[in-house]
A and B are shown apart, each in its own frame.
Chain A
Amino acid sequence: MTTLLSGGPVTPEQQLENARTHRPGPVLAVLAVLALYAYLFTHVADVFDLPRPQALAENLGLHMDHVFDDDHNVDSEIRIPKTRIFNNDDERLILFAVAAAAFLCAYFLPLRRKRQALVFWFLIGLLVLYGPRATAGLVFAHWLVYLTLHPPSGRRALAYGSMPGLLAYLAFAPSSPTLVGALPGMAAWGVVAALAFRFGLRPLLEREAIAVPLRTVAVQSAIILVFAGALFEGLAGDAWALPIGILLFFWHWERLIMYHVDYKDGLVPKDVAPLAYLSVFLHPGALPNWTWGVTIGQGYAYTNNNFLSEEKNKLIMDGLRLWGIALIYLVFGDWIRYAVAGVLDDLGFSVYAGRTRRMVCDFVGGGDVDTPSVLLTTFLDLFRWLLLWGGVVHFKVGLWRICGYRIDPYFNKPWMATNLVSFWPRFTFHYREFLVRAFYYPVFFRFFKRHTRTRIVFATMASVGAANLIWGHMTEEMYYHGMRFEHFGDMFQTWPYFFLLGAGISLTELYLLQKKSRRKPWTLDARIILDVVAAYCTLQFFALLHIFMKDCRGGTQGDAWRLFLKAFGIEL
């Protein structure tokens, strides 16, 4: 696995060379795998009068529970959230069609058109799935950030400056029956926006003392707005509802922060064109499960440096490999979980079908939960989550790869991690990089420079504890469940999860700091058994922490602590 620093700037000549060779094999393979996905996860079998996946499996003698859903195709975690126009199967079919079209364009179009085509197909997908208002809302928000980070001058100042007005009219103005009917309004809003930018915002951005906080406000607008909305709801009792386009933009906030980090580090050219800016964020890989794996692609430098940085057919084969693994996780994940849970039940252990929340609720309700149950249930729940998570993020990264980006896998066999430090990049690589670049590094390089251990602990607690809670989970809670004041309290109630995770990683770092042995884990020698034990302990500890995240009505933090300590045989 490579790093956030990987892939220095790739030259256009290298990209041309890497995009030169067309081969029918990889193209047909991509289309075939997409067709297989469509067959398994959508209604396409009915369209072509083919046997449905469940019927086919049963004809082959495969009778598996928890694999197929009510309409007899495979139940899938690949989904498009918050759509109201289509059902899940149709959404997936649109997604796969967009993926196929985007792939063909990225493969065959000239180099200068490839990334533009990916933006185009992302927007087409969005338009079909969510309609023009959501699409305009997303581009509107990104355009405002673009103008703040890359203010154009001259004639472009008026042209680019008018765009937020045009887009805002499409996104937010009262509906107009026809496009022609909307033109006067669009023109008026466009003119106002152009003048406001040219004579208002643009001059301010020329003064660095004002430009710096303005850029920060633009990049952090998501967290500022949701927290303001939650406070407002607490004071006034009314909850703001976010338009879907703005919500989509808000889910890009972590990548925006990384873009801003690149910007401040001088890794982003000042004169980036709007389409080049949009191509960082608007990629077909960002369509499926857009609330999961939102840091995939990171910032400007990572995306830019990894586009066609390898031969495109090799990238495609790597992407297909990830899609193959994703397919196994997505199809068999639940089947494996229920099979394991069944075996454990037969052996006399209560594992609540691998659902930690059910166990917590049983405990809160006065149920007798013993130590093996706590250990096995949380472990099985993590196992369930890893398979779901791995399937979806492998599919997303695979989609980036077949479109020409050498994106690192988000998920890389986390069960092989022998400590918490190595677990994070294996479990959630791009998010970990976000926390490190946006929070760990700034603290690490500023505070306690003469006290190594304090420095490491402080930087770790700041990133894994505080930033992970506020910029990660708390903001997401608002996106998922609305801007309500009570979510502040709900999330602060989960502080033990963040504290224990930060403390665990800090202690691991300090242990590794003074560790003498430099043996590589999983070397085939007598100590490999210790690797197995270490890997189990790592996963089990992380699994147990989720007790603090699975609240149950009527439960208290004391209940969570008692259940957590039960895992260690401690009864309170």
Chain B
Amino acid sequence: MVAVPERRRVNHEATPMNRATISAQLEDFFRREFPNPGVELTASTDLLQNWLVDSLGIVNTTLFLESRFGVDVTRADIRAENFQSIDRLTDFVAGKLDP
């Protein structure tokens, strides 16, 4: 599980969030929280097939998205198209930050 700071401590506005930054932070998160030695992780790796273990992995990722990027993730956002890959998650976060 990710070590999630409470939301009031989040300061994501301090640096502008571009896609590259979001993507890099997501990649770092997945490497750290879901260690998968020997399996390559790229921006297009299918997270649902090979990386996230189960639905609590989704919960864990949600907590990370909310705390790190300050986005509000709803029940309806928990869909394969949003969590399929780091690329998709980056699009999702970027869309939430700049609707």
Contact = CB atoms under 8 A, between A and B. Distances in A.
Interface residues of B, number: 37
Contacts of B63: 452
Interface residues of A, number: 37
A518 B75 CA distance: 28
Interface in B44-97: 48-49, 52-59, 62-63, 66-67, 72-76, 78-81, 83-84
Interface in A423-455: 425, 429, 432-433, 436-437, 440-442, 444-446, 449-452
B49 A6 contact: yes
Interface string A474-513: 0000000000000000000000000000000000010011
B52 A442 contact: no
A513 B4 contact: yes
A6 B53 contact: no
B2, B54, B67, B72 pick with most chain A CB within 10 angstroms = B54
B16 interface: no
Contacts of B1: 509, 512-513, 515
Contact of B56 (A7, A421, A514, A516): A421
B54 A1 contact: yes
B55 A3 contact: yes
Interface string B21-56: 000000000001101110000000000110011111
A82 interface: no
A425 B53 contact: yes
A3 B67 CA distance: 23
A450 B55 contact: no
B7 interface: yes
Contact of A450 (B6, B54, B57, B75): B6
B8, B32, B63, B83 pick with most chain A CB within 10 angstroms = B63
A4 interface: yes
Contacts of A449: 66, 72
B3 interface: yes
Contacts of B48: 2-3, 5-8
B54 A425 contact: yes
Contacts of A518: 32-33, 35
A185 B73 CA distance: 55
Contacts of B4: 452, 513
A368 interface: no
Given A8-B80, A515-B1, A519-B35, A3 B7 contact: no
A8 B84 contact: yes
A518 B48 CA distance: 20
B3 A3 contact: no
A58 interface: no
A8 B1 CA distance: 25
Contacts of B49: 2, 6-7
Interface string A406-432: 000000000000000100010001001
A265 interface: yes
A512 B52 CA distance: 16
Contacts of A84: none
A207 interface: no
Contacts of B32: 518
Contact of B53 (A3, A8, A436, A437): A3
A441 B78 contact: yes
A7 B78 CA distance: 14
A520 interface: yes
A16 B75 CA distance: 34
B1, B63, B67, B72 pick with most chain A CB within 10 angstroms = B1
Contacts of B56: 421, 436, 509
B81 A3 contact: no
B75 A1 contact: no
A520 B79 contact: no
Given A445-B74, A509-B1, A3 B6 contact: no
A301 to B, nearest CB: 8
A433 B37 contact: no
Contacts of B35: 518-520
A532 B90 CA distance: 38
Contacts of A5: 48, 52, 55, 58, 78-80, 83
A4 B2 CA distance: 21
A421 B57 CA distance: 11
A442 B33 contact: no
Given A2-B49, A5-B80, A265-B76, A520 B55 contact: no
Interface string A504-548: 000001001111101110010000000000000000000000000
B6 A441 contact: no
Contacts of A516: 3
Contacts of B79: 5, 265
Contacts of A440: 55, 59
A449 B84 CA distance: 24
A467 B81 CA distance: 28
7 nearest A-B residue pairs (beta carbon): A512-B1, A445-B75, A436-B55, A513-B1, A5-B80, A6-B48, A8-B80
Interface of B: 1-4, 6-8, 32-33, 35-37, 48-49, 52-59, 62-63, 66-67, 72-76, 78-81, 83-84
Given A433-B55, A518-B33, 17 more contacts: A1-B53, A1-B54, A2-B49, A3-B57, A5-B78, A5-B79, A6-B48, A8-B84, A421-B56, A433-B54, A440-B59, A441-B55, A442-B75, A512-B1, A513-B3, A518-B35, A523-B37
